[in-house]
Amino acid sequence: MKLFVIGNPIKHSMSPEIHNYWLQSYKIDANYQILEVEEQDLADLVERIRRKELVGVNVTLPYKTIIVKYLDKLDDTARMSGSVNTIYREHDKVIGSNTDGVGFLKTVKKDLDLNVNNKNFFIIGSGGASRGIIFSLCNTNIGKIIISNRNTKKARLLVEEMKEKQKFFPIFQQTWSDKIIPEEIDIVVNTTSFGLKENEELKVDFRNLNENTVIYDIIYNPLETKFLKKAKSAQLTTVNGISMLVHQAAESFRKWFNIEVSDLLIESSKTKLLKLLSK
């Protein structure tokens, strides 16, 4: 049995390290690999899942929204967020799901031991990962969400979509040129890929934030982006994307094999990744 993580570029992905470890641990005769694809390859890839040649795939940049049109059905997480990062087969249907939000919330609640009730979020970006996270937040008892994105139109459309689909109205847009994060924000989340390259830096202003504010970057390689370094120098709590990566992977694994990955394997996966990325 085969599984893939697809994207372009994709060589940086650590997902095979996670899933092959779990496949071995649960004695499942399957293999998980990286597959760089072009947009014209997506339809054929979905057909391979339908023909049972593949168990399923994970989807990353830039295909999380593009691949939706090739699927038979979307579950609630994908339908409401408009973004897919996991594809699996159920009976004769190929189904899209989004496990980003689950991964994010589990990190916040379990690893940071934070209660999201009435918390205010500042989300940078409005792409696939952002959509999954925002959808999950809209289903909890948070305070408000502010979105900022270089593409002003995409951010505005996402705000309007969440108001219409989720009936979540404390969601607002902040212009990209305004780099100062409001003082009432409890958690700042970078959902963009900006920071993957060494010379990239998100130029935001943390001066209004209090010492309890958490700065979260879903990027996991490098372990500490310039965004997180700047936050740390401002004496703020910082979190990288390792935990979210592992937790969202566990949700994908559950959909493919109907297995709840144990807490022990989840924690050991985080440790393994930290060691690999620290070299």
Is 212 exposed, middle or buried (CB count within 10 Å of its CB: 0-12, 13-18, 19+)? exposed
Looking up tokens 């059905």 gives: 73
What is the rounded CA–CA span in Å between residue 119 and residue 141?
8
Q: Confirm whether 52 is a catalytic residue.
A: no
Looking at residue 89, its amino acid is R
Q: Across the beta sheet with 214-217, what order do the strands follow?
A: 171-173, 145-148, 121-124, 187-190, 214-217, 237-239
Tell me the sheet residues that pair with 33: 4
> How many other β-carbons are positioned within 10 Å of the β-carbon of residue 137?
26
Instruction: State the catalytic residue, choosing from 2, 27, 52, 64.
Output: 64
* End-to-end Cα separation, the chain, in angstroms: 31
The first and second tokens of residue 24, run together, are: 């071995």
What is the rounded CA–CA span in Å between residue 13 and residue 18?
10
Non-local (6+) Cβ contacts of 40 within 8 A are none
Q: Which of 219, 213, 221 is nearest to 238 (CA)?
A: 213
- Annotate 92-151 with DSSP letters as a single string: TEEEEE--HHHHHHHIIIIIS----TT--EEEE--SHHHHHHHHHHHTTT---EEEE-SS
Q: Which residues are catalytic?
A: 64
